[in-house]
Structure 1
Amino acid sequence: MANQTREKQLQDLKELKKPSVLIVGGGINGIGLYRDLVLQGVDVLLVERNDFCSGASAALSRMIHGGLRYLEQGDFKLVRESLEERNALLRNAPHYVFPLATTIPIFDYSSGILNGLLQFLRLTDRPGKRGALVIKLGLSLYDFFTRTRRETPIHRFHNKKETFRQWPDFHPEVKCSATYYDVWVTYPERLGLEMIMDADQTNTGAAAINYVSVANTKDGTVTLKDQITGEELPVQPTIVVNATGAWINLTNDALQGDDINPVSKMVGGTKGSHLIIRNDDLLKATGGQMVYYENQDGRICILFPYFGNVLVGSTDIKIDDPTDVRCEEDERDYILQSLAFVFPDITIKQEEILYTFSGVRPLIHSDASVTGGISRDHVCRTLPETPGRPFPVLCMIGGKWTTFRAFGAQVTDQILGTLNKSRQCSTFDVAIGGGKGFAKDKGAFDSWINDLARNSGLGETRLRTLAMRYGTATEDLIRFMQQGEDHLLASDPSYSQRELLHIIEQEQVVTLEDILLRRTAMGISGNLSSDLVDEVLQILAQARGWSTLQIETARSEFLNRLASFHAVTFSTPSRQCTNA
């Protein structure tokens, strides 16, 4: 069976020889821009040299946060925008985005006042300890910024007695704590994919394709290359947008054409690494909340329950080459040491680290001596037309996962002005994918599940699992599953064969990694096993008509990447995690 969706997108690409806009980069910023432009009726092409949301957009802390610590740097505009966008995602993607109570253990009352003032005045970029007074001020501003359209409760403080009643495993020197609400996301890669699928249903004059790269630029023609077949695909865009994140500098070089003048460095990346840990004591110690804490060096770290395990991170290390980053041993040690600082009586064994992941934050190039002092804001810089490149290149630099929609809207408005077009709609309140019509009220949700159970014959537990994976798109999935014989996977009965076949057919799955690490949470949930890899591979291979050699190659490549970039091998059996 062919990859129908990707084949159709490639055909659309071939017909779209002169798109108004070519977006290079299929991370969350490029996808957000693509959706916005499509909704404005612009003919636009998006290409991604790997899979959608496979770089930094897959390596976030799984948080959609307002950026509490950015208040120290005086980035009030960024914090306000982040909170507005965070709350918009709660409304627009309620199947993937949820409020999360977040508690800060506080070690004293007055630390951080002087350092916070110096940071605010840009007289230092070094982090320092934050006492209760500084945290109270920050959380009060947090609440103030969301006062007109509040989606989460306001913050509250706990004295020492109350703190240790709820979190008895905190370091004994903790004096008090504060709890506020931020937001977490279950399936960020799927959220990005759903925006592409929404856009493709709206406008036939657009296409978004993975595994297509920029080969070269000459005489106004950008030659694209299908990474799967090797086919070259020429296009002549009016405007090019470089949304390749940490690869912006390299992509600009590829887009220069015959112009030999070098492009100044725009991005300075920092690497962030995370661990997925399976330790029952640590999971219990979180109290079902995120713990937002300072390491001894003043850097903020977080941990929270994620698919039955605990996600912990992150590091923040300057890096020049964004290619093939992974969580190194010293980063793993740093994260474990930070855990030991806040939970000194909990010991993490190496075998309890189920999965690691890393990404490079595409931050605005900065000479700051401390990575925490580099702005997380976003900016669009334009490279004007040149004789060798007769189209402008708009470079989307920086930004947080949280603010992708606002960043996309900013660049869309700039493009619409260049094309002499008017905005037709705002994306601020546009629901995403399975979030359309999703019942946020428990009673309405339960009623919907009961209706699905009566009409489909599937059990309530199975339906609730599907609903939290796909939202209201579950209804289309059920119809597909009922069109043929379906069986639960032997190695993970929370998935079924036709459920995965639907993903393969409809979601531009090319590699085994696409489905195991991005279309599903099998990897990050710690649910992978050798048997599961083989079972999913057989479904994919049958759908694609792969030969025995292709199957063995796909398996070998995936297992090598899994070991190299996520520290996962199958020397010990995995425990099933049925809620992923």
Structure 2
Amino acid sequence: MLEAHPKETGRGAVTPRGDAYDVLVIGGGINGVGIANDAAGRGLRVLLCEQHDLAAHTSSASSKLIHGGLRYLEHYEFRLVREALGEREVLLHKAPHIIWPLRFVLPHRDHLRPRWMLRAGLFLYDHLNRRTTLAASRALDLNGQGPLQASIRHAFEYSDCWVDDARLVVLNAMQARSLGADIRLRTRCVKARREGEGWQVDLQDAAGAVHTVRARALVNASGPWAARVIERVADNRSPHGVRLVQGSHIVVPRMYPGDQAYILQNSDQRIVFVLPYEERFTLIGTTDREYQGDPSTVHPSEEEESYLIGVVNEHFKRQLRREDICHRYAGVRPLVDDEDANPSAVTRDYTLTVQDAEGQAPLLSVFGGKLTTYRRLAESALERLAPWFKDMGPAWTASHALPGGNFESAAAYLAQLQRQYPWMEQDVLARYVRSYGTLCQSFLRGCNAAEDLGEAFGAGLTEREVKYLREREWAVTSDDVLWRRSKLGLHLTESQKARLATYLGESQTVSS
């Protein structure tokens, strides 16, 4: 079991002096909070600003995987795959409540990649980096059994991991805050200018008020907005073109029994994941298409939904229709533009650039990246900033748990909660374990009966939990609660969602 960072107890946490910071991070996605957390744990004064909510866009619109990226081997991205494979083991130990092993079935189809190629790729996948927790790959003889089409007789099975992507972002932000970082959500960076040895940065809050702060270094981790921030906010020229690639997912009622996932090959050389999701559902994705427009307003197209359904129907006995879709979402991946004509072939690796204007205050910008490698990206970012912060502490995140992850096993902790709260339903306690880990004690403490949890909004969501999310996890809206702090939006009825919105003082319609 990994320990928490010593400063998380509140002892020795760094607090900013007035409006002066060492590092100001723009962007509350996984890369931004990862860098803020790492920097705060090294003793730097950190401010993070995000124009919307944590994980409001790309970081909550993923396929929910911590994986090496099996298909990246075809594009010879061995460094990226090796790093990602190593991170699977690190993150499993850092966050056992929100990350857990998942077995993938890769069906073989004669007219696509040959069996020898799949076997060779999986051999590399098993051996490119040290593997201590996850099981190795193996061949399967299906013989027409199971949920796949009877014509699919052979397959391979291998290991990767599942993650609650939005909670991974939130937990990093919480840890950063516990280490002294100033986290400002619904706050937009409107202008940044170099003055003296640092930056003067104008931040606009949700009420429209503008506050000016100072920072020795500026980190641009704004994802799809990275080039825009460099050019319009910091008045610099972007060193890289950013290629926006839309990825869409659909959610349908559970398609098959069992906890295994599927990775489906398609004739266009792309792959589609079919994943067990929230107990009663199946998650299907993703697509790759060029995107033009505002990244905050991206939605799946009918063409993408039809594509995903078509790929699934070629493989599974159960046939899907568009009417089966009960939820859908899309995100925009900001990739470094390498001028490849195929969006699927554009590298998922990350690039870090530092613009320091002949020794002046640095602007570090993040291009690309993926959930799995966020921690290593953050370490690389701090290495790039080291010349300006010679007294900062060493790297630390590999050996410290994220908030709530300090338990030996999920099963043992669930059993402990059942002994503590025997009057609670087991499926609710199980959700607490896989969402909060030990953090759930923050809102369960002192409760001796269901009435102590306050109003019940449905699907096990209670007033106590909602108050905790508002007070400790920055939740403001129903969407924050139902789609980013949890996935209970899939389980509540429309009337229950409306009641929650009323409780939160909302007038707008909740997403579905």
| Common fold by TM > 0.5 | yes
Deviation, structure 1 residue 323: 3.8
Q: Is residue 350 from structure 1 mapped to residue 322 from structure 2 by the alignment?
A: yes
Q: Tell me the equivalent position of 2:116.
A: 133
Hey, what's the Cα distance between the residues in 2 that align with 1:225 and 1:481? 40
Q: 2:388 and 2:448 mapped to 1: Cα distance?
A: 48
Question: 1: distance between equivalents of 2:156 and 2:247?
Answer: 26
> What are the Cα deviations for residues 452-507 of structure 1, in whole angstroms up to 9, with x where unaligned?
236xx545444333222210112222126579953565551411111111111221
Match 1:293 to one of 255, 260, 264: 264
Distance 1:107 1:235 in 2: 58
C-alpha contact 1:283 1:309 (8 A) present in aligned 2: no
The 8 Å contact of residues 459 and 492 in structure 2, kept in 1 or not, is answered as no
Correspondence for 1:150: 132
Aligned to 1:504, which of 466, 470, 476?
Answer: 470
Equivalent-residue separation in structure 2 for 1:423 and 1:99 (angstroms): 32
Of residues 181, 203, 212, the one that matches 1:224 is 203
Task: Give how far 1:172 is off.
Answer: 3.8
Residue 495 of structure 2 aligns with which residue?
531
Q: Residues 195, 75 of structure 1: CA spacing in aligned structure 2 closer, same or farther, 3 A cutoff?
A: same
Aligned with 2:305 (options 300, 325, 332)? 332
Question: Structure 1: which 5+ residue stretches go unaligned?
Answer: 1-11, 112-128, 542-550, 563-567, 569-580
Cα distance in 2, alignment partners of residues 157 and 467 from structure 1:
33
Cα shift at 1:291: 0.6
Question: Which residue number corresponds to residue 277 of structure 2?
Answer: 306
Partner of 2:217 in structure 1?
Answer: 239
Q: 2:436 aligns with which of 470, 475, 479?
A: 470
Residue 386 of structure 1: how far off its partner (Å)? 7.5
Shift of 1:302: 0.7
Residue 98 of structure 1 aligns with which residue? 100
Mapped to 2, the partners of 1:316 and 1:439 lie a distance apart of 39
RMSD of the alignment, in Å? Answer: 2.4
Query: CA, structure 1 residues 453+263, in 2 after alignment: closer, same or farther (shift >3 Å)?
Result: closer
Runs of 4+ in 1 over 6 A off after TM superposition: none
Provide closer, same or farther for how the CA distance between residues 30 and 446 of structure 1 changes in structure 2, counting only shifts above 3 A. closer
The AA in structure 2 aligned to 1:400 is K
Higher strand share: 2
Work out whether 1:399 is the aligned partner of 2:363: no
Is the Cα contact below 8 Å between 1:449 and 1:460 reproduced in 2?
no
Corresponding position of 1:453 = 421
Q: 1:89 to 1:484 in 2, by over 3 A?
A: same
Deviation at 1:175, TM superposition (A): 4.0
1:547-574 deviation per Cα after TM superposition (whole angstroms, max 9, x unaligned): xxxx43xx34x3xxx2xxxxx4xxxxxx
Contact 1:23–1:240 under 8 Å retained in 2 = yes
Contact 2:424 2:450 in 1 (8 A): no
For 1:87, the equivalent position in structure 2 comes to: 89
Please state how far the C-alpha of 1:57 moved relative to its aligned partner: 0.2
| Equivalent residues of 2:414, 2:433 under 8 A apart | no
**Is 1:44–1:207's contact at 8 Å kept on the other side of the alignment?**
yes
Deviation sequence 1:252-300 (CA, Å, 0-9, x none):
122334x6xx43443212110000011x5x234xx43111011221211
CA distance in 1, matches of 2:457, 2:364: 46
- Check conservation: 1:156, 1:178, Cα contact below 8 A: yes
Contact 2:43–2:392 (Cα < 8 Å) also in 1: no
Distance change >3 Å, CA 441–CA 486, structure 1 → 2: closer
Counterpart residue number, 2:486: 520
Pairwise CA distance, 1:426:
2.0
| Rounded Cα–Cα distance in structure 1 between residues aligned with 2:415 and 2:326 | 37
Amino acid of the structure 2 residue aligned with 1:134: M
% identity of equivalent residues: 28
Among 188, 198, 203, which residue is 1:213 paired with? 188
CA contact (8 A) 2:413 2:433 kept: no
Relative to 1, partners in 2 of residues 1:483 and 1:446: Cα closer, same or farther, differing over 3 Å? Answer: closer
Contact 2:354 2:384 in 1 (8 A): no
1:320 CA displacement: 3.3
Per the alignment, residue 5 of structure 2 pairs with none
Change (3 A) 1:14 1:440: closer
**Residue in 2 that maps onto 1:439:** 408
Q: Which amino acid aligns with 2:357?
A: E
Q: Tell me if the contact between 1:51 and 1:210 (Cα under 8 Å) persists in the aligned partners.
A: yes
Q: Output the CA distance in 1 between the equivalents of 2:347 and 2:271.
A: 15
How far, CA to CA, are the matches of 1:493 and 1:153 in structure 2? 34
- The TM-score, its normalising length taken from structure 2, stands at 0.90
State the Cα deviation string for residues 507-536 of structure 1 (Å, max 9, x = none): 11232321222112122xx22422121221
TM-score between the two structures when normalised by the length of structure 1: 0.80
AA in 2 matched with 1:342 = H
Taking a change above 3 Å as real, the CA distance of residues 414 and 17 of structure 1, as seen in their structure-2 partners, is same
Question: Contact 2:352/2:367 (CA < 8 Å) preserved in 1?
Answer: yes
Question: Relative to total residues, which structure has the larger helix share, 1 or 2?
Answer: 1
